[in-house]
Structure 1
């Protein structure tokens, strides 16, 4: 059987050797996902070579394993928005205070997180300069310059960039960092109908990124007035959930800004009737937070588990040369296997490192989350086959070399679907429908994602936050799903006992 240890060594020697290898290399995680989630997460993102900690708190080095995932999602999203005639641009990182302060509601939402440049060398700047926490106030003074008449609309721009938000509450790699990568789209239209349509088209692309690329189930919905984007008209989002921590996580947002920013920045145009009108605007973004959600949802006690669609390496080929085996033949078979896979469009590599045992290599690539491992040993060579081992469920299957491409394609598609199905099953098991405050508190204590009837009043939401504040953090509304269950007549709000207007998801969140 391919993939075993050298047969002539005793089991005691094997276990001693395994312990030594582990001790020497630091392979394997010391924390378990279900026992200490925070420690496990911090360990897995470093050991899985996604990030390295930097010497400034809340800032992280994104290693190639991360960047390749980001680039795959970027390639998908960039191609899709180009079909929508959205063009890429780049605006400066710095913002003048006068422009930043122009939109009061908006900047109040970001004020505590804005980082400022106050010196040049040893000289104090006469006027401090802000570093963008988001780019509405950077871009919109120029929209007012470029938009004059209805023929200048729609104006649809996107930029791939970094932003800085000086987080002080628990910086966490990918989830809450002081600098992160994202795309931000900023569009202007002549009518609200056009803006409304685009909000949902972009939200659907975000659903695709999560569900079809990262294999994470999300709920599409609308944020409450209290939780919407500061200064915007309304916010839509895709919401994910992490069962281990019982916390929701905002996956990405698509905002209709209405005409608030147009008013502040005087983005006016002459319409077809020759009348002066204000534009309707949207902004929308997703960030490297997506990668953190993927780690939290799919990772296990062996390390990362990467969905095949985003994995930098989808298939790792490992030679397993036993003593007195035809090593040259095995190496050639490995080379041929990788070549065949690469020619067929798979991201495949071979691990020929001689200073590590096959067993160590298995653990190493499992830690890094590679979806499929192919082992080739003497028996496989003799039988013209390869052994495939799945990362998601550890199942093994021998496949003939002449059916390699077809079967690997099937296996990877199956892994991608299985990761989504398992994640959805776990997420759905955490959703609880409640109708009363007592039921709500009970569900919250069991780390549930709670669906409850709500009167849709901001004061009631603030009250829910205040009443649930504790060591674990307060509960808040996550979103009101677009797919609303039937609301029976006479249904009361779980928190205020006023007539309910809609069903809304609630819970603790990141």
Structure 2
């Protein structure tokens, strides 16, 4: 199983595609550019959802749901927003089918044309702000903190499972505030949540920053982001939080009566992460044997594989295992006892290694006699023999150790792949030979940013939130620059 994966060093892209499919995370569907998320992959997404949803609710946010269809006229109300999404929109023009008169099959009923076309949701700012106009009357209605778990459609031509698909799952938060300061604080709070989730749950180290004007969300005044680095030296945008100013409030006439009794437009944010995080999880930690999952997000944290000859031995092992299963589950640890008699232990070891189960226990006749377990950890592939009376405490500590270890391993790789350069020649050389983040001076112009993108395919991933003041000169134009920004090739 896992042993047949293409090696990362040979073809990283092929390795990723094979791993996602073979580890039962997802597969391509009969709809071009769309994926089927399989139960094992969806179980990881559910754990992501649960952790994030808890964080959102702890900070006062509530979940709601809004229509998947958006009238075309709504999308037209905020000019930069429609310009940013126009090329990715799927459009519904008719509402009925009929049988073809020549009997050739089903065709669109040309008499059932919609009076106004509907856009399949690429993001929900417009339909939500049309709704907010009805919900917000005075300062007493603010802040309004809404989150939605949903699917969106962006018509991608080149797709890859989880990383870029025509339809994907995400959460999108949309909030309204009485003041500019409150809205900015909200956007920063969400950035903190995304950072904590990525690092504490996904074990993915991230760099916090803001996007350049050319990379901002369509319609935003400021876009905050977290950027992660994959094992092939490419960056991946892991989450964004946008300060929208009053742009959408003015476009949809969302006003409130302030404490002084006068009318004012509300201030807005929006923010989101998607199933793209599944791709980040795979590419940050996994190896040539398969997935390596952080225990906090692993659907199965511990698997127990019996090694036996005959049903009598299996029954004896099952009796031995039962109290351990109960004790582990009582501690909130997800555990599976794989007593299938249709597969041999070696097959099971490979299967769970491929699927990234953090801890594997094996127990055979000798273990029964010695009152021990063989304990193997997925991140280092190390094995230990542990006395049965210590195994539960050992597993508890081991899960924490694995979570910390894979974070530190990813952090070490990331830090080793942040390179400062001071010339365009070094910029291009490091980009091709080493990859990763390149810290360089930029003159702040869109023209220079676009030139670098066209010539190297590298983009400015972020302007670090607290860049150290370091006067220098742009690596391309030689013009003055007050701080460095981070460039990288990206997914």
Do both share a fold (TM > 0.5)?
Answer: yes
1:21 aligned residue:
none
1:182 aligned residue:
170
Shift of 1:501: 2.5
CA 1:214 to 1:266, structure 2 compared with 1: closer, same or farther past 3 Å? same
Shift of 1:426: 1.3
1:250 aligns with 2:237: yes
Contact 1:174–1:289 (8 Å) recurs in 2: yes
Shift of 1:72: 1.4
1:337 aligned residue:
324
2:104 aligned residue:
none
Contact 1:456–1:501 (8 Å) recurs in 2: no
Contact 1:258–1:280 (8 Å) recurs in 2: yes
1:160 aligns with 2:141: no
Paired residue secondary structure (1:226): helix
Which whole-Å deviations, capped at 9, do the CAs of 1:309-365 have from their partners, x for residues lacking one? 000000000001258984432232233332221122110001111121111110011
Contact 1:325–1:378 (8 Å) recurs in 2: no
Could you tell which deviates more after superposition, 279-288 or 269-278?
269-278
TM-score with structure 2 setting the length: 0.94
Contact 2:469–2:482 (8 Å) recurs in 1: no
CA–CA separation in structure 2 for the residues paired with 1:106 and 1:35: 41
2:184 aligned residue:
196
2:120 aligned residue:
131
Paired residue secondary structure (1:310): coil
1:503 aligns with 2:484: yes
CA–CA separation in structure 1 for the residues paired with 2:89 and 2:237: 21
Structure 1 residues 164-243: aligned runs within 5 Å: 164-168=153-157, 170-243=158-231
1:494 aligned residue:
475
CA–CA separation in structure 2 for the residues paired with 1:480 and 1:44: 33
CA–CA separation in structure 2 for the residues paired with 1:29 and 1:182: 32
Shift of 1:459: 2.1
Structure 1 residues 41-440: aligned runs within 5 Å: 41-119=16-94, 120-121=96-97, 122-124=108-110, 125-126=113-114, 127-168=116-157, 170-244=158-232, 246-322=233-309, 326-440=313-427
CA–CA separation in structure 2 for the residues paired with 1:29 and 1:208: 35
CA–CA separation in structure 1 for the residues paired with 2:272 and 2:249: 19
CA–CA separation in structure 2 for the residues paired with 1:464 and 1:128: 39
TM-score with structure 1 setting the length: 0.91
Structure 1 residue corresponding to 2:461, chosen from 458, 475, 478: 478
Number of aligned residues = 476
1:12 aligned residue:
none
Shift of 1:107: 1.2
Shift of 1:115: 0.5
| RMSD of equivalent CA atoms | 1.5
Q: Unaligned stretches of 5+ in structure 1?
A: 1-25, 469-473
Shift of 1:144: 1.7
Which whole-Å deviations, capped at 9, do the CAs of 1:161-210 have from their partners, x for residues lacking one? 00011101x20111101111111000010101111111111111111221
